[in-house]
A and B are shown apart, each in its own frame.
Chain A
């Protein structure tokens, strides 16, 4: 405790003396001192460079570096500069010339003590003061110009936007386009240029369902968001099906059906034996007569047969969810129903909250099915705001965080494919309007209001789901993901920014109005 106390007090005293126009020989940086680190302001840049190098070395170390956490004794770690140097020399790294392309990442290290976070260009000057030397750096400049360009698009000044886009593309060459701010900015610049230069009809992101499925699969592998969604949903559905012998799951987006093997296995092993499981999978129609829904159904049936679960599958092909009519689902009155929607409901929202949107009739027929549980997993973001600039800013933050979390995944091909999946979302949020814009994400609170108003009541997800989600995250090598509980719903995020939210709902029992009864009595009388 001693050394820390003394370094903090030394830091703050020299920090305050420097602000009092004293003539300190070399002031200790005030912000970092608040966190217990002594770094001279003049050395900030070098220390940040060395930290970046250290990070590189540790990630790419040919041998285990965990001994550094176990055995190494770090003297006076608050003296950040010499601590980093000692670690670097211990790992035998030769001196390399500072690489200007890593500067963009240095913003993260210098500005925050809690891992990489996108620097908000609107942030107060006080927060920027720690990195004043790095302020002219290309990363920040890139974000500045990006926001200016978005503003000009928002105001309709397309010629200005066009010239800004050219400037942005120039700026891109001076940052590392492979990671950090360079990569995210690259995607947003691309989206903006599509919006400004491309014809008004939706850009040629005309997607094949097959491509979508492949990209989705790689997104499933590269980061835990979808796995979290699947496992949390399965846990809730399993609990809802407890004690019932005839169960029916309606999946709003079947894809490869990766969610269902785990549920089938859990049902196979549940005390009392498995129920009869029916699965109705909704998906886009496949071209050229090839029935991909049916094929997935066959694989799932094969798996169910191996583990002795009675299983029946039905595929419903529909390009939009509001094309699905309840009679297509062929619901049996004796069975217990679970509706599963992983990132599908937002596609039905409209931009004008006062007018009805396509989601209302869908929520109504869902409710009329009287499901035991409705699982809703959605992106935790506010991408459906009416003003373009608000959407753009929010999307920049959201997707930067998401790309950050992907950094840890090392397989390069799969990572690129997962990134293309995300890039398509970005393009849709930024470029498209009207019916073409389907990525209309809304945050959990708005979903609560909407679902509550449509006659659903919230079901708490419970500690089993939370524990399972935490365990799942521990199995991932990247530390930085966090599961949080939010009034009975679970969210998964990166460094305390929730990115995806899972919630469970139940149809409220339809109230029996007393009025008809009174009328009846009156009639009788």
Chain B
């Protein structure tokens, strides 16, 4: 706070009242709003900050938003299917991210970074293909686990994880 003294000088004074410190952890809704705007990689990093952030960042609604926020029109009726097959976070990790980056790389040329994925718009067919591959993933885990679901990505989807050969 700047005060005007009688002699015309200016002087700084300690503020009498304490401005409250803003702590993001006390404002979960603001945190969620911020996290909604991140790309997948940042969201993953956010989950490593602390237990509370981990809990929030793992919220499937965030990942649903991430998966389909650039799909126009947004697919309807998809949620129960995705949830049944393993959830949006898994959908993103196993299918959406590799599919987008591969197809994005082919379309744009090279150098599709994570930030490009954020801006890119999907086609309906890319969405459908990702969902189908996700279903195959679920089924292969069913087969492999003898009825119980494992966590590792199914073998036939490993091709999505391999780096592109020159």
Chain A residues near B (Cβ < 8 Å): 58-59, 61, 64-66, 68-70, 220-221, 227, 231, 234, 256-258, 261-262, 264-266, 268-269, 299-300, 302-303, 306-308, 408, 410-411, 414, 464, 467-468, 471-472, 474-479
Tally of contacts, chain A with chain B, CB under 8 A: 106
Known: A258-B156, A303-B142, A411-B158. A477 touches B136 (CB 8 A): no
Please report which residues of chain B, range 120-146, place their CB below 8 angstroms from some CB of chain A when the two chains form the complex: 125-126, 128-129, 131-136, 138-140, 142-143
Contact A262 B132 (CB under 8 A): yes
Residue B25 at the A interface, CB < 8 A?
no
Alpha-carbon separation in the docked complex, A430 to B165 (Å): 34
Rounded to whole Å, the gap between the CB of B140 and the closest CB of chain A is: 8
Which chain B residue shows the least CB distance to A479?
A: B165
Alpha-carbon separation in the docked complex, A475 to B132 (Å): 14
Known: A299-B142, A477-B165, A478-B165. A227 touches B156 (CB 8 A): yes
Contact A265 B110 (CB under 8 A): no
Contact A306 B84 (CB under 8 A): yes
Shortest 5 CB-CB contacts between residues of A and residues of B: A265-B135, A261-B139, A262-B132, A306-B84, A58-B166
Please report which residues of chain B, range 36-56, place their CB below 8 angstroms from some CB of chain A when the two chains form the complex: none
Would you call the interface of chain A mostly helix, strand, loop, or mixed? helix
Contact A410 B162 (CB under 8 A): yes
Known: A70-B111, A477-B159. A468 touches B77 (CB 8 A): no
Contact B136 A262 (CB under 8 A): yes
Find chain A residues with CB under 8 A from B160 CB. 475
Alpha-carbon separation in the docked complex, A437 to B102 (Å): 41
Alpha-carbon separation in the docked complex, A299 to B140 (Å): 10
Alpha-carbon separation in the docked complex, A467 to B84 (Å): 27
Rounded to whole Å, the gap between the CB of B99 and the closest CB of chain A is: 6
Per-position 1/0 for B97-127, Cβ under 8 A of A: 0110011001000110000000000000110
Contact A269 B78 (CB under 8 A): yes
Alpha-carbon separation in the docked complex, A302 to B139 (Å): 9
Rounded to whole Å, the gap between the CB of A55 and the closest CB of chain B is: 9
Contact A266 B129 (CB under 8 A): no
Name the residue in A303, A471, A474, A478 with the highest tally of chain B Cβ atoms < 10 Å from its Cβ.
A471
Rounded to whole Å, the gap between the CB of B101 and the closest CB of chain A is: 10
Residue B3 at the A interface, CB < 8 A?
no
Residue B30 at the A interface, CB < 8 A?
no
Alpha-carbon separation in the docked complex, A478 to B159 (Å): 10
Alpha-carbon separation in the docked complex, A472 to B163 (Å): 16
Find chain A residues with CB under 8 A from B166 CB. 58-59, 61, 65-66, 68-69
Residue B93 at the A interface, CB < 8 A?
no
Query: Could you list 29 A-B pairs, sorted by A, with CB under 8 Å?
Result: A58-B166, A64-B163, A65-B166, A66-B111, A66-B164, A221-B155, A221-B159, A256-B143, A258-B136, A261-B136, A261-B139, A266-B132, A269-B77, A300-B139, A306-B138, A307-B81, A308-B81, A408-B165, A467-B125, A471-B103, A471-B125, A471-B129, A474-B102, A474-B106, A475-B99, A475-B103, A477-B159, A477-B164, A478-B165
Which chain B residue shows the least CB distance to A309?
A: B81
Name the residue in B103, B160, B162 with the highest tally of chain A Cβ atoms < 10 Å from its Cβ.
B162
Rounded to whole Å, the gap between the CB of B35 and the closest CB of chain A is: 28
Known: A471-B125, A477-B163. 16 other contacts (CB 8 A): A58-B166, A220-B156, A221-B155, A258-B136, A261-B136, A262-B136, A265-B131, A266-B128, A266-B132, A306-B85, A307-B81, A411-B158, A468-B129, A475-B98, A475-B99, A478-B165
Rounded to whole Å, the gap between the CB of B67 and the closest CB of chain A is: 14
Contact B159 A303 (CB under 8 A): no
Find chain B residues with CB under 8 A from A299 CB. 139, 142-143, 147
Contact B125 A303 (CB under 8 A): no
Residue B73 at the A interface, CB < 8 A?
no
Contact B131 A69 (CB under 8 A): no
Q: Which of B129, B135, B138, B140 interacts with A472 by CB under 8 Å?
A: B129
Find chain A residues with CB under 8 A from B134 CB. 265
Find chain B residues with CB under 8 A from A61 CB. 166
Residue B80 at the A interface, CB < 8 A?
yes
Alpha-carbon separation in the docked complex, A303 to B110 (Å): 37
Name the residue in B80, B99, B128, B166 with the highest tally of chain A Cβ atoms < 10 Å from its Cβ.
B166
Rounded to whole Å, the gap between the CB of A53 and the closest CB of chain B is: 14
Find chain B residues with CB under 8 A from A472 CB. 129
Find chain A residues with CB under 8 A from B135 CB. 261-262, 264-265, 303, 307
Alpha-carbon separation in the docked complex, A234 to B131 (Å): 14
Find chain A residues with CB under 8 A from B85 CB. 265, 306-307
Find chain B residues with CB under 8 A from A477 CB. 159, 162-165
Alpha-carbon separation in the docked complex, A464 to B125 (Å): 8
Which chain A residue shows the least CB distance to B86?
A: A306
Known: A58-B166, A59-B166, A65-B166. A475 touches B159 (CB 8 A): yes
Rounded to whole Å, the gap between the CB of A50 and the closest CB of chain B is: 16
Name the residue in B103, B125, B165 with the highest tally of chain A Cβ atoms < 10 Å from its Cβ.
B165
Find chain A residues with CB under 8 A from B132 CB. 231, 234, 261-262, 265-266
Alpha-carbon separation in the docked complex, A4 to B111 (Å): 28
Find chain A residues with CB under 8 A from B103 CB. 471, 474-475
Find chain B residues with CB under 8 A from A231 CB. 132
Alpha-carbon separation in the docked complex, A58 to B155 (Å): 25
Find chain A residues with CB under 8 A from B142 CB. 299, 302-303
Find chain A residues with CB under 8 A from B102 CB. 474-475
Alpha-carbon separation in the docked complex, A258 to B131 (Å): 15
